[in-house]
Structure 1
Amino acid sequence: MRGSVKDESETSTNEIDLSRLGRTLARKRWWVIGPTLAAFLGAAVFVNVVKPRYTSDARLLLENQDDFLGRPDKADRGDGNGPDAEAVQSQIQLLTSRDLARRAIRSLDLKGDAEFDPLANGVGAFTRVMVLLGIARDPTLMSPEDRVMEKFSERLAVLSPTKTRVLSIEFTSRNPELAARGANAVAESYIEMQQEAKREMARSAAGSLATLVAALRERVADAEAKVEAYRADSGLLIGANNTIIPTQQLGELNNQLSSARAAQAEAQAKANLLRDMLRQGRVGEIPDVANNETIRRIFEQRVSLRAQMALESRTLLPMHPRIKELTAQLADIDQQWRAAAERTARTLENEARIAAARVDNLTRVLNDQKRVAGSAGAEEVKLRELERAARQLKEQLEAETAKYQQAQAREQMKATPADARIIQRALAPQLPAFPKKVPIVAFSTLAAFLLSLGAIIAAELLTGRARADAHPEEADTAREEGQGVEDEYEDEDAGDEVAAPAVAIAEQARVASGACVKVLVTPLDEDRHGAMAIRLARTLAGQGRTLLVAADPGDGVFDPLIDSDDAPLGLADLASGDVGFEEILHLDSGSRLHILPGGVAGEADDYDAELLVEALSQAYDFIVLAASDQAARTLGPYMDLAFVLGDGADDDAEALRRRLARAGAEAHLLDGAAPAPSLAA
């Protein structure tokens, strides 16, 4: 059991009392309305007095124009060769550079313009003060171009939308026409600078390439001379079909050898066929024999003799001289025919032998030529190496010559393509970009309202006046007009020693049961029970939701704790049936405690104690009921704890404790109590 208990300022939570904060804001409403109205009027005057400024914008698209002019085949490949994010940022820096600004200033002729030149109308008093304080530079020490450039740079803004290659050039001026001309002048100057840069690069490249091309021409001529000299020394002269002569001769000999072998084979085949047909007696079927003029005449004579012999054989016998003569002539003709065939066969055989000899001769010549071509192979390898070197130098010369010609063309071309083009020219705006009257007035008014409101709330929070755990003396100050009750509770300690054990017992009961704990506080002296109940209830309010109930209808002992101008409604009004629970429950002005006072009904009916206790136990963790002896006897059966205030020698207090214990409550007898007037805390 704890030996002491915290006072209500230590046990109450650190919550903000919104009702008190609202009353403070209502009381100090002119501290909010005044600054808000002043901000509204000031903003309205400002937007109508300040000179308007107009902003116009021109847009550039960054792209590689060379792909469309010099290399049109790459124009269909999309934006693969376009600038990346870093290149876009680099172009933004170029657009805001001093060199480009000088070009635009000269094209716009801004020198002497009062808007951009501070000395156009003389040095003002404000400027002199700023210069004397060292805040601003002395414009008289600056050149006219520098003075204009400083203002020009302030009015120029270059932006690039995310994930695009578009640059937006915004220029602001009091003159809408000048705003449009300024944005267009910057864009045009940017294009001109890029064109000049490309022409200068082309001029420099042409000078370098001219020297390189001249050197390459000399090297190519020297390489080609070496090739021809080596070809002449090695005999690797070029013949037909761009081949060297040894190789060409080798091919021709190979073709001749093939032809000779074919002729040999053909002649040998004819000779063999003729010999076979002669053995078979089929001389007349041999094509070469049949086509011979001599053989044909012999064949005709043979045919004539056989016809004559056949004619004579009809009348003469075989042994007749005439028949024998014809037979001898026919045999002689057959012999001549065979001899002619033999000569033809020998002729073909001789042709085959001649072809074989020619094949042997060509084979020897071909082998000799192979040795010659093989010996020329190593020399040909070196020749090809020299030719390759000369060819590479020639290709390099052609490439560098093309670059040189292109550089010369770019140098002389006036309309050199830039890597950007204007996709939107600036137009004179109709509406000013500054000031935006409605937004400025609205935001200024809203800002003043929020700042003044926040200042008052911050002051209340910092001083602690807006918190629910404010000290009792602060709560009394808030109730001075409605209550007029003196603050005496702060100096009273009599109830602490009594409330401490009661609190400990109530907390243990809550932990043990886990449900709502109903606590009855009743003394024999009805004038002394209020302070004890308040101390107990406020202490328990730091542990959970707690309700303090004046169990006797019409009892106003807890009315001073409620911040209200009129007597609060309570239990008597509930018993009479005039109001509901939502109207009789009130908040303690000094803690989180909820209070159900006795009420103001003149004639209160008896209430159903069981129903009241059961209904309230559904919403609270602790219910503290302060009751007289009579009310305590009625409430005893429905209580978890009962604390009877009195001393050990008081027989009536002990009797009441025993009665409450028999009714079912855990009853305790506590000594001492604070007097009733101290409950005003």
Structure 2
Amino acid sequence: MSDSGSAPDQVDTSIDAGLILRAVLRSLIRIAFITLLLCAAAYAVLLFVPRVYESRAELLVEPRSNSALSSSVASGSDAYLLDAAAVASQIELIKSRDTIRAAIETLNLEDDPAFTGQNLDRIIAGISDDLIVTQERGSRLISIAYRSEDPDMAALIANGIALAHVSRRAGQQISDTIETTGWLEDEIGRLRASVGAAERAIAEFRVDNDLFVGSNNESLTNQQLSNFTAQMSAAAERRSTAQSRAQLIRALLESGQSVIGVSDVQSSSVGQQLSQEVARLQGERAQQAATLLPNHPTIRALDAQIAEIDTQISAEGRRIAAALEAQAQIEADLQTSLQAELDRLKVTAGTDTIEGVTLAELEREATAQRELLNAYLLGFAEASARSDVNSALPDIRIVSEAAPPVRPAAPQTMMILVAIAIVSILLQVGAVIFSELLSGRALVEKHPVAPRRPEVNDEQLEADDVHVAPTPVASVRRHHTPVSLETEIEAIAAGALGGIERILVIATDDARIDTQDFADKLTAKLINDQLSVAEIDASSGQQGIEPGLSDLSVDEAEFGDVVHRAPNGQFAYVPWGQSARLNRNSDRMATLVDALSDIYECVVIVTGRTGMGSSLPLFAETGAQCLLLSSEEVTGDAAKDEILELGYESVHLIVLPGARSEVA
């Protein structure tokens, strides 16, 4: 007997697949007999159906060119682009009335015994009905298939239609080429005269307007404008440079600074000599200043010589500045003369530009006519080469000729018999299943496993309803019927298999009951039922070498370190760990349970004996169901109430037999 705080049982209806399978197996002989009977009847009917043979020829659609033709023809063939519309057009031409009539005339089918007594229109209609023209998937191949009761006739007509279409395409290309050649010849004669007149008009216009061309196909006026513009730019640059250098020297002299550092003064021979002399005198003065006072005659003589040389350097700077200013004036005069010449050329260039518009128009017209003439000449050469009948290569050719077939295309006896057998079996099996469902024999009532409530008598229920003060346990006790361990484990496993409870906490109020042994048997049953299980040891206190739950609670191990998984991934185990006790203020254990419930179908937590040292409070907020193991002597009612007060939503009381008191 078991006690629980969960909802009452509910009855559900499900389909018994095993019963349906047994019903199908019982009808297997009848199904096989009816299927064989239907197949035999179909085979007998097919024996009287005429055999139809299909023969097919294959055509390849692609451009071809004669190797004796010019390279332009070959390049045109390479540029040929085939699309689906081109292949579809070829298919429609093959199925056309003219192609079939050409094949009939070539094969002389009107005199064939198979078509005796039929006129041309009826023969064409009959061949068109039995003709199948399709494109092979993703290719340029066109398949011409013809069906007939005579295999030789099927191959003959398929080949005849293929040959008729190829000959027709060759004739169409030659006819088009001959018409194109005549038209091109007339146009070429007209364009030659037009091109000659246009080129003469260009030459006369150039001579009349002095529009002569120099190097790089550029007019002489434009070349002169470019040269004068470049010379003016160079003169302006030289004038600006000379003026800047002269102004620099003048500014240094006016401010009283030395010009010895200016590059123009340094490059002058006089400036170089004076610079060397100043350096020599300054060195000598430095030597004398080491032993003589500043007012000594020798020092004063050296200072006077240095001042005199500085005056000469300034004079040299003025001379150089005047020379630079004169050079700037020369460049300015040159720039003025160049500008005047440039203005004159601009007037001439303006006239040439206006006349150049007319010249460019004449040249464009002549160029367009010349390019058109060249294109016509090239096309005429190609068309002339294709005018010969023997040189015509149509854009389609036969790659596979039709041969008389050996096996008939219809009827497909084997495929028909297989289809009849499959349909017969499916219909009969469906009828059996429908019959079982309709009769209700395949429907069974399914009772989900729910926790059991304690059996109490009417007097106890009445006492509970009126809230009578509890009497001592020795005087009033609830009666619990013990159940076998295997029965209880099977019931719990069924509930887990149905998804009713996924987190199970195992505890006991009797020290003689081994909760770990119960958990191991329950885990083995769940795994045997193909459920994935995670088991957590929260009660043993046995310290080991592997990290476990105690290490996780004191932050000495991570979640991935404490979960030890089996190789097949169906079972995971969290041991006690290396620490002596659990940290009851840590929420990492509840987090571990939530994470394992997302990964595994069932989580089993072993908390051991209830009491002050129990780990039951640590898992009260996980939404788990508590399995309280008790005995007939203890009953477990008080422990169940205490567990419910901890926050557990459901407590399943399991009274196990065989736990007898050792006290007389």
TM-score of the two chains, using structure 2 as the length reference: 0.44
TM-score of the two chains, using structure 1 as the length reference: 0.43
